[in-house]
Structure 1
Amino acid sequence: MTDKVIEMAPKILELIKKSKKILLHCHPYPDADSIGSVLAMTLALKKMGLEVTSILGDSEYPDDLIVLPHHDLLVKKNYSEIDTGEFDLFIILDSSTLGQVSRLAEVKIPKNMKTVVIDHHVTNLKYGDINLVDETYTATSQIIYDLFIRWGVEVDKDMAVCLFLGLYTDSGGFKYPSTTANTLAVGAELAKINPDFPRVIFEMENAKDPQEIAYEGLALSSIEKYFSGKLVMAAVPYEKLKEKGIQKGFTQGGVGNTLISVIGWEIGINFVEADPGVVLVSFRTRNSDKHDVSLIASMIGKGGGHKAAAGTTIYEPFEVAKKQLLETIAKTFPDLGKI
């Protein structure tokens, strides 16, 4: 537990206790850290006897996270579909910018609604009334666990599995550079509370839709090499998705991780035009100290993330977006050489 969490925990709890109605959200294309953090916090607030509404946000609920308990608590609405005037506190989890609250419309915060930002991304802009942003943590779920300990909230089995999956996935199965002894210690504590985690991991990792496999095949057959083969990009335009009948929700799998598993391919990019003029970009790197991909994600489009794994959305035509991205990478990482 860091000094920052120890300092901020009572301030956040004080604001929570003063609030009558609290809002939480999942970021677009939510992962296990986003959903797990939101569900665990929702359950904790309900234990405190507080009124809380948690919205799913812009995207559909991912099939591989059906295993998470109480996912039915998430209201299937995005930020613009709710009356924000009803809430006096908005707890924003795992979102480095307001653009991560919703990408469908400008996110406006009413004057009566206080905001608490809790996140571990180095790219976080600290845009809340209270900001608990600690990039030394592997996952937002890990910060939430430490907050619960400071608040004296009992972590039950359901909360534990939500937090464990967030920690497990954002650490890349405990193998990303951000993984520390404390990451493993928190994971062990959560596993003590709910020893059923092997089954949960298995169900999450083996719940693919046939369209995901179809997309992986399409992406891996669309590889383009740049910078003398040091950077590889699975570049899939909207026309190919439409031709294969693949829905955009099935394009955010592990393609980037597959690309950097190849020796010599230093940076892997999943580059897919999910809708005409809307390009989703996912970055992975073998050496995050040398090539911090969160820099690229925060410089182009609306994105952010971690040094080793990041993402962004570029609102430009496919080829224009690709050119902008490659030029940005060339300027940021001159060691790669010419495009």
Structure 2
Amino acid sequence: MNNLFKEHVKKAQNIIITTHIYPDADGIGSQIALCMALKSIGKNAICVNEMPLFDRYKYLDPQDVVISYQEYMDKPFTEIDLLIVADTNSLPRIGKNTQELVLNSKELLFIDHHPCPRELKSIHCIDTSMAATGELVGNLISDIGVEFTHPIALALYTAILIDTSSFRYPTVSANTHRLIAKLMDTGVRPPRAFNQINGTKKIGYMRLIGEVLSSAQTNESEEVAWICLNEEMIDKHKSDAEDTHGFINHLLILDNIKVACMFRQNGKSVKLSMRSADANIDVGVMAQALGGGGHNHSAATVLEGTLEDIVKNSIEKIQLMIDGSKD
């Protein structure tokens, strides 16, 4: 894999790095860190995303390497030698417009840690044993001889911090922490890095999380727990949907818990996020059975219907899948 990355980089001069639409910190941090590293060795690299960078991530981009597709089209490369897609191995996930860049690229390379077919994995930089795409990118940056600067390290640290829910997922390894140590050697400080990405919250955030958690429920076996929220709740407390992503992790401390769920209604659809609290339970497979996907410990799907019906049907199916895993 490392040699594959080196060969691609060696042959390419004009490099575009993108990530999935509505990106999280792992996608953003990974692409920014990789772009800064490639620029440091003389490559003409830029990050092009479907939409402009969210304000909450701009501190991770001190060199302004991230632009939107529309901005890129104002002054496109004459040739794209290499298009790198970070934190997904599905082209439809990078956005309708950004996909068009693939047609003008000499080479395409996925850098990711999500499950994929073996055939795809064999010709791309995909390693599902990595705790985050940021960990994989950190290793690739080291392999091409680039030393971590503080901006590169902060982007990678933040990517790994968020995608592991503060290092609590089972894919976090000793090697993950060895990389974290190298990143901290550049001056990255965990308290500040945590506060920067999570932001300073308003009182509305506290009231929202209080309302959501006070309605938490479990099924009879207490192996499945869930919380629900909708747009009205978020608006009432003057919060943002981005603030709710970590709510589900509060359920993981419950006794007997195997699968934690969060149902968030958005218009006529409901996003079901799932987390596994048991190494033997694969929520990625469960999410696939419900039309979505993800990791064995973190996954999601989007379902159509009323919140009440979706909660009832989903919890019943999840419990059946848990029972089936015991056979």
The equivalent position to 2:303 in structure 1, one of 314, 329, 332, is: 314
Partners of 2:224 and 2:315 within 8 A in 1: no
SS of residue matched to 1:179? coil
Identify the residue that residue 4 of structure 2 maps to in structure 1: 11
Structure 1 gaps, min length 5: 1-7
The answer as to 2:192 corresponding to 1:199 is yes
Return the offset for 1:258: 0.5
Partners of 1:97 and 1:125 within 8 A in 2: no
In structure 2, how many angstroms separate the alpha carbons of the residues matched to 1:85 and 1:165?
33
In structure 2, how many angstroms separate the alpha carbons of the residues matched to 1:203 and 1:30?
17
Compute the TM-score of the two structures, normalised by the length of structure 2. Answer: 0.82
The answer as to 2:12 corresponding to 1:23 is no
In structure 2, how many angstroms separate the alpha carbons of the residues matched to 1:167 and 1:81?
31
Amino acid at match of 2:322: F
Identify the residue that residue 157 of structure 1 maps to in structure 2: 150
In structure 1, how many angstroms separate the alpha carbons of the residues matched to 2:120 and 2:201?
36
Amino acid at match of 2:112: D
In structure 1, how many angstroms separate the alpha carbons of the residues matched to 2:304 and 2:120?
23
The answer as to 2:34 corresponding to 1:45 is no
Partners of 1:123 and 1:298 within 8 A in 2: no
Identify the residue that residue 233 of structure 1 maps to in structure 2: 226
Provide closer, same or farther for how the CA distance between residues 263 and 44 of structure 1 changes in structure 2, counting only shifts above 3 A: same
**1:44-83 equivalences in 2 (<5 Å):** 44-57=37-50, 61=54, 63=56, 65=57, 67-70=59-62, 72-77=64-69
- Identity of paired residues, percent? 25
**Number of paired residues?**
324
Partners of 1:211 and 1:250 within 8 A in 2: no
Provide closer, same or farther for how the CA distance between residues 192 and 99 of structure 1 changes in structure 2, counting only shifts above 3 A: same
Provide closer, same or farther for how the CA distance between residues 217 and 124 of structure 1 changes in structure 2, counting only shifts above 3 A: farther
In structure 2, how many angstroms separate the alpha carbons of the residues matched to 1:126 and 1:333?
30
**1:242-253 equivalences in 2 (<5 Å):** 246-252=239-245
Partners of 1:279 and 1:316 within 8 A in 2: yes
Identify the residue that residue 146 of structure 1 maps to in structure 2: 139
The answer as to 2:123 corresponding to 1:134 is no
Partners of 2:134 and 2:160 within 8 A in 1: yes
Provide closer, same or farther for how the CA distance between residues 55 and 109 of structure 1 changes in structure 2, counting only shifts above 3 A: closer
In structure 2, how many angstroms separate the alpha carbons of the residues matched to 1:148 and 1:181?
19
In structure 1, how many angstroms separate the alpha carbons of the residues matched to 2:211 and 2:265?
13
Return the offset for 1:39: 0.9
Return the offset for 1:54: 1.2
Structure 2 gaps, min length 5: none
SS of residue matched to 1:153? coil
Return the offset for 1:116: 0.6
Identify the residue that residue 294 of structure 1 maps to in structure 2: 284
